Chains A and B, each alone.
Chain A
Amino acid sequence: MGAYLIRRLLLMLVTLFGMSILIFVMLRLVPGNITDIIFDSAGFVNPAAKKKIERQLGLDQPIVTQYVSWISGLARGDLGYAYVSEKPAIDEILPRIPVTAKLAVLALAFSVLFGVPLGVISAVRQNTSLDYALRVLSLSGLSLPSFWLGLLILMAFVHWFGWIPIYKSNTGSFWHDMALLSIPAAAVGFRSSALVMRLTRSSMLEVMRQDYIRTARAKGASDVAVNYDHALRNAVLPVVTIIGIEAAFLIGGLIVTETVFNIPGVARFLVEAIRWRDYPIVQNLVMFIAIVVVVVNFIVDMLYVVLDPRIKYEE
């Protein structure tokens, strides 16, 4: 296991190194650069002044020098300066991470707390009216675009309560924050829970036809024990995989929800930084998201061992 862990950590480092090169090169292949964009708000481009800004930002340096400068800074914890705001990139990125993290955790909690039990119920009550109702619900969750659902929620709140649940930075308390975020989290979590629910259902249906389930029932085990202790535990592996993928997605993929609910999170900021070709922000944020994805995948792999003792990561 120890050797596996070391191998795995090394693989994570190689993945991140590859990602860093990919991000760096791809960003520079996109047409337009920060100097064009800085000038855009002035309604013209002055070639001489543009060159001067490029020099100031170090963009006239060879691409390898720029890469080494970024990666060595990253190793020292220096993320550089944001081109647009001219502030340290860390000061721009750091305050946004907790906002997105809270939203992602809430959305994930929503999807697991609703998706898994409803998936089990749907499987256990297969082909009943409850199953049909839950399947319709899950299909609508997968079909409704989250921006549309988000807008509907906002309109409903304005119409019925005369109040709009968009993000506020100074709500005063952690719980108030969470309550306000729970509405967009529900909008995102609805789609995610539908996915989890469908996967739990199909996985459960497959497991419940296994001999050991029949044996458990024959032994006189209760429905709850059969469904949750025996069936769910064996059906949960693909569900954990999909939850892991969703968790990684939720850190960087909430652009639409963050835009509709006006949440100043990581995803919206990343898209905006790409639009502005704000290289230090984009590079560091994408690296952050890559780290989250790699770590979540690692955690999921470790969870497999906990959930299924037959899985062993050995030589």
Chain B
Amino acid sequence: MASNFVRGFCAAVVALALSAPAALAQKAGGTMRIYHRDNLPSGSIHEEATISTVSPFMAVFNNLVVYDQQQKLNSPETIVPELAESWAWDSSKTKLTFKLRQGVKWHDGKPFTAKDVACTWNKLTGKDKDDFRKNPRAIWWHNLKEVTVNGDHDVTFNLNRPQPSFLSLFASGYSPVYPCHVSTKDMRTNPIGTGPFKFVEFKRGESVTFARNPDYWKKGHPYLDGIEWKVIENRSTRILAFVAGEFDMTFSADVTVPLLKDVTSQAPKAICELAPTYVSTNLIINPKAPPFNEAKIRKAVALTLDRKAYIDILSGGKANIAGVMLPPPEGLWGMPPEELQKLPGYAADVEKSRAEARQIMEGLGYSDAKPLKVKVSTRNIAIYRDPAVILIDQMKKIHIDGELEVIDTSIWHAKVTRGEFAVGLNLTGVAVDDPDVNLYENYACDSERNLTQYCNKEVDALIDKQSQETDFAKRKQLVWQIEHKLAEDLARPIIMYDRAATCWQPHLKGFVLHANSIYNNWRLDDVWLDK
């Protein structure tokens, strides 16, 4: 008994000795300076679908639960409590109850209660009078029947059917809790949260500043006095500014593979991590627009894709060939290379596929002398234009003469939504590495963000089926089955999942770059400056 006590005591001392230096080493104070790549549209995370908003403003808010900011991989196992102290499913797996943290205050001093949680999700499901101007992730919550408040600190989400991954949706940076007493309009311009930093000022085109929340519920956090995001639209200027030490950190995934060599040579002490962005480069084909209403032509286009060429040219060979889901090792649900090759249009022998594609085109009466002329539409941004040019080159090999149609970036989605394109090159970001997010958002019949308006009831049924499956391995098999269907139907063929680097100065500590999402690790309450 005594020896057990001594052993336990020694173990405790060793554990304390190992953990203490890390805990004591954190320094409080200082303002973190980080650059922003463009002018952010608003401060309301729920109304936007861009990293431009979520990365600066995530620090203002808290979620019910969040992906562990100190773990690289987002997975159901890395979900940790935030405004919810605990959660539990009922036996039917259709009621998820959260016990909420007590004593939490909004930045304006008002208390946080279960009513705020209900309000937020009522807005997201269109049940609140003061609804969101835009609601890009409404589809995430399509299975939510209602939210019931069981007192000030207890709230239940009632689902129409079981959805095991439902909790993962709450863990994203895109799922903050909003205050009931602040209008959606004010949340766009002057957001109030419970998070580690209070919003101070947003100077359009110039900067966004945040100050430490002294009443933050997580005692001792945040370490920083504030965060200053400075907008620098010119990439050369902002990279030079980082190299000159003007900033502690670059914008998320702003350093491309070619730029990474410059940064590491000019700022050798900077820490740069190359990670998947979970943003896919994909082909959008409008099946209603002639000549692509002809299924054979759509198939021929898919067969001419040489994904490796895109990856070698655009990312120096670092990006990944992928299906709909992010491939391993970072992606939890994607197919490994040997499985991918089984998908239609993914064969390793590209020349053989192209010969087949040429045969199809020649069968339809096209040849080098009489090519099919099409416009390849894309957004007027380099990351869209560059792959579009490669696409035109690859289509030329199967008697398709593509002409690049560059669309003003501000009206890209409007044109695509109206179906004013035949074939286009698009980029799609995924916030949570879970099939429910990616599949419902981009391929379900009734999703507003299903840009090509692809609709296959059989696929919809499979998406619902995988969504209800509790066994990980079985669910993965269903997801791969869906991947096959989507590849056969040429529903937004994925060309690649890109990789890009985020860099920070060595004195910036406590930041962990997530490897399977760029949207979920901006709480910054563990970050400190070793200056």
Residues of A within 8 A of B (CB): 31-32, 36-46, 49, 52-53, 82, 84-87, 92, 95, 151, 154-155, 157-158, 162-164, 166, 169, 259-262, 264, 268-269, 272, 275-277
Contact = CB atoms under 8 A, between A and B. Distances in A.
Interface string B188-212: 1100000000000011111100000
B232 interface: yes
Given A38-B41, A39-B134, A44-B448, A31 B234 contact: no
A164 B240 contact: yes
Nearest to B379: A40
Interface of B: 39, 41-42, 47-50, 52-53, 133-136, 185, 188-189, 202-207, 230-234, 236-238, 240-241, 243-246, 266, 408-414, 417-418, 448-449, 451
B133 A268 contact: no
B497 to A, nearest CB: 17
Given A32-B408, A41-B52, A42-B136, A272 B237 contact: no
Which of A158, A260, A261, A264 has most B Cβ within 10 Å?
A: A158
B411 A40 contact: yes
Contact of A32 (B189, B205, B411, B449): B411
A44 B244 contact: no
Contacts of B206: 169, 264
Contacts of A166: 232, 237, 241, 246
Given A41-B48, A41-B49, A164 B414 contact: no
B413 A39 contact: yes
Contacts of A169: 203, 206-207
A185 B530 CA distance: 36
A86 B189 contact: yes
A45 B417 contact: yes
A276 B136 contact: no
A282 to B, nearest CB: 13
B133 A38 contact: yes
A268 B232 CA distance: 11
A158 B243 contact: yes
A260 B414 contact: no
Contact of B185 (A46, A86, A162): A86
B203 A276 contact: no
Nearest to B186: A86
Contacts of B136: 42-44
B257 to A, nearest CB: 21
A contact patch SS = loop
A166 B233 CA distance: 12
A85 B233 CA distance: 18
B414 A39 contact: yes
A87 B451 contact: no
Given A154-B236, A169-B206, 10 more contacts: A32-B410, A37-B410, A41-B41, A44-B417, A45-B418, A87-B189, A154-B237, A164-B246, A260-B237, A269-B205
A49 to B, nearest CB: 7
Given A45-B417, A151-B236, A166-B241, A275 B410 contact: yes
Given A85-B189, A163-B244, A166-B246, A38 B411 contact: no
23 contacts: A36-B414, A37-B410, A38-B41, A39-B414, A40-B411, A40-B412, A41-B49, A42-B48, A43-B136, A44-B448, A44-B449, A84-B41, A151-B236, A164-B244, A166-B232, A166-B246, A169-B207, A259-B233, A260-B234, A260-B236, A262-B233, A262-B237, A272-B39
A169 B189 CA distance: 21
Contacts of B135: 42
B227 to A, nearest CB: 16
B134 A38 contact: yes
Contacts of B47: 42
Nearest to B230: A262
A44 to B, nearest CB: 4
Contacts of B50: 41, 43
Nearest to B414: A36
A164 B413 contact: no
A-B pairs, top 6 by smallest CB distance, nearest first, are A32-B411, A36-B414, A41-B41, A42-B136, A164-B244, A42-B134
B240 A158 contact: yes
A60 to B, nearest CB: 16
B441 to A, nearest CB: 9
Nearest to A35: B414
Contacts of B41: 38, 41, 84
A95 to B, nearest CB: 8
B134 A49 contact: yes
Nearest to A161: B244
A269 B206 CA distance: 10
B240 A42 contact: no
A40 B413 contact: yes
A277 B410 contact: yes
B268 to A, nearest CB: 13
Contact of A162 (B49, B205, B244, B408): B244
A154 B235 CA distance: 13
A162 B245 contact: yes
A275 B411 CA distance: 10
Which of B39, B414, B417, B448 has most A Cβ within 10 Å?
A: B414
Contact of A40 (B188, B240, B414): B414
A5 to B, nearest CB: 39
